């Protein structure tokens, strides 16, 4: 099964460390305002998920959401969550660790996109 969102080993390690410190987490792909278009990591419950948010999947057993309008724009791409050194979004939990999550992407192949569409329809 093709995943809409996945994480690198480095990102998964950081997620585990953050879960140990903060408990259950959630991610939301920022749409560009204050923190650019970074994946934002929150303690579960610190960000209210609304009817306009789409669950893309889970990374490190942590739900990953994106706004529906942004999803419609990016639905042809797989989001690959990575981590790099540096300060990220001021509201994201990893900032104090001297790391920041980073979204990389790649376009789905025609075959992968067809598989995703079929899985939604069934």
Start-to-end C-alpha separation, the chain: 14
3-state secondary structure of 3: coil
**What confidence score (pLDDT) does residue 86 get?**
85
Whichever domain contains 81, its CATH number is 2.60.300
CA distance 108 to 111: 8
pLDDT one-digit tens code per residue, 40-50: 999 999 999 99
Range of the domain at 107: 5-119
3-state secondary structure of 103: strand
Number of domains in the chain: 1
pLDDT one-digit tens code per residue, 50-85: 999 999 999 999 999 999 999 998 899 999 999 999
């Amino acid at each position: 099964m093709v995943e809409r969102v996945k994480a690198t080993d480095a990102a998964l390690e950081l997620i585990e460390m953050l879960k140990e410190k903060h408990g259950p987490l959630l991610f939301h792909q920022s749409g560009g305002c204050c923190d650019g278009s970074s994946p934002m990591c929150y303690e579960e419950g610190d960000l209210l998920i609304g009817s306009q948010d789409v669950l893309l999947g889970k990374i490190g057993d942590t739900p990953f959401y994106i706004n529906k309008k942004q999803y419609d724009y990016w639905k042809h791409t797989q989001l690959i969550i990575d981590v790099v050194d540096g300060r990220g979004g001021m509201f994201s939990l990893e900032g104090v660790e001297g790391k920041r999550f980073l979204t990389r992407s790649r376009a789905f192949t025609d075959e992968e996109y067809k598989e995703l569409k079929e899985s939604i329809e069934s």
